[in-house]
Structure 1
Amino acid sequence: MSDLEAVKLREKYTHFRILVIGRANAGKTTLLKRVCNTDDDPCIYNENGENQLEPSDERGIHDIEKQFVFKSNPQFIFHDSPGFEAGNEQELKDVLSFVEKRSKMNNPNEQLHAIWFCFVLNASRPLLELEQKFFNEQRAGNVPVIAVFTKFDDLVAQLYDRDREEESRTDASKVVKEKFEMPLENSRDRPKAYVCFEALDDSEGDHQEQVKGLIEKTAASLDDLALKMLFVSVQRNNLELCIKYAIYEQNDLGHSSENVVYWAASWFRHCMYNSPTWTAFAAILICLESSFWYFDQNIGFQPAFEQAWKTFAHSDAKKRVEQDISTLIMARATTSLNQKLTEQQKVTFFNIILQNRLEHPDAQDIF
Structure 2
Amino acid sequence: MKIIALEEHFVPRQVCEAWEATAKIQDFTVSMNGNQYARQLEDLEDIRIQAMNDAGIDVQVLSLPSPGVQNFKPGDSISVARDFNDILTDAIAKRPDRFDGFATLPVPSPIAAAKELQRAVQKLGLKGALLNGRVHERNMDHSDFNPIYEAAEALHVPLYIHPQLPPSGVRDAYYSGIGPIADIMLSMGAIGWHYETGIQLLRMVLTGVFDRYPNLQVIVGHWGEVVLFYLDRIAQLNHAGLKLERPIADYFKQNVYYTPSGIFSQHYFSRTIEIVGVQRMMFSQDWPYQSCGENGARTFLEQASISQAEQEAIAHGNWERLVSGILRNTDTETGGSGKL
TM-score bracket for this pair, using the shorter chain length: 0.3 to 0.5
TM-score by length of 1: 0.35
The TM-score, its normalising length taken from structure 2, stands at 0.37
| Rg comparison, structure with higher value | 1
Higher relative contact order (CA 8 A, sep 6+): 2
